[in-house]
Amino acid sequence: MKKNTIRILGNRLLKKYNLKDWNIDFNNNKEYYGACNYQRKTIYISIYDIDKLSDTHIQDTILHEISHTLSGEYTGHRLKWIINCYRLGVKEKWIYLLNEFIELIIAVHNQ
Ligand SMILES: [Zn+2]
Instruction: State residue 27's pLDDT score.
Output: 97
Backbone angles phi, psi at 46, to 5 degrees: -80, 130
C-alpha 49 – ligand 1 centre gap (Å) = 17
Dist. CA 79–CA 71, nearest whole Å: 9
- What's the 90 CA to ligand 1 centre distance in angstroms? 11
Interval 5-17 mean pLDDT: 97
Judged against a pLDDT cut of 90, whether residue 7 lies above it is answered with yes
* Prediction pTM value: 0.84
Q: What is the pLDDT of residues 49-78, one digit of tens each?
A: 899 999 999 999 999 999 999 999 998 888
What confidence category does residue 46 fall into, taking pLDDT thresholds of 50, 70 and 90? very high
Give pLDDT, residue 103: 81
CATH number of 3-109: 3.30.2010.10
Q: Where are the beta strands (DSSP E) in the chain?
A: 23-27, 34-37, 42-46
The residue extents of the domains of the chain are: 3-109
What letter represents residue 96's amino acid?
A: Y
User: Tens digits of per-residue pLDDT, 23-34?
Assistant: 999 999 999 999
C-alpha atoms less than 13 angstroms from C-alpha of 73 in its C-beta half-sphere: 6
Rounded to the nearest angstrom, the distance between the alpha carbon of 69 and the centre of ligand 1 is: 10
Distance from Cα 76 to the centre of ligand 1, integer Å: 7
Express each pLDDT in 86-110 by its tens digit: 899 998 777 767 777 788 888 898 8
